[in-house]
Structure 1
């Protein structure tokens, strides 16, 4: 019988943890395919909104994040994953993480599109750390919703935001911080 040293224990534990958290290439391909299907469905819905095709044509790039899910009770959080299009091609994948504090009650899901109207705004977004500070109001009931707000992104850069496809029930009047992170899919 051999004694188990700390180093041996950590090695066995590390291998066990890696085995539990590793994903096969097939899992990654399936997740990317499912995400691409969600992005395409949101893009088709976006094309049906009056004025959106003109924004897409004028933009240097469009970030589409489908199915952003938000839940809150005074404070709230939201998360979603999507893709950055330059022309008709997906060039990068991004995640959106949002936290807010204020008057928030309920849960909702929505799609978000960011239109980068200048090449400088697109370059700044791709190189920046992604934080956005904002204040806004959102009311969603069923599939109809209204959102309004001013963010530092809108004030400082020529970036337009469109929130569409809202569903759920949430009332939100809060200060929020959002972070967009590049992810590998």
Structure 2
């Protein structure tokens, strides 16, 4: 089974341009929230919680992240919990609000992603490996931790395998 560094390095190899990484800080949270919103119906209230397909997906995702790394797993579980809380409110509202919010976030998030990959000059990681879809949110969390000076040992290993980040210069003729 792949380790945390294996997954992050493989994903990072597709994301070395800083503009692409920045686009992921916006696009991926929008997509994760959109999927949570869209999966929040059908649902039932139980003991103060909204149980839905989104809750099951968040639980399974959190277990996957915890298997890779306890600290990042707890962070991702907390972030997914916030998405569930927000989504439950929308799910209990009107169908128009729930659906337009979910679809709007999804479409705009993917547009932002593809703009980032235009700068990168490389296709998204999930095209070659579908696990990129679950690693993407973890990559954003890890990059945020690295920017805060946390988990340097993980960052060093990822950079050693994937290479440093850069901004590509376009040739002007």
Q: Common fold, TM-score beyond 0.5?
A: no
Higher helix proportion = 2
If the length of structure 1 is used for normalisation, what is the TM-score? 0.24
If the length of structure 2 is used for normalisation, what is the TM-score? 0.25
Higher strand proportion = 1
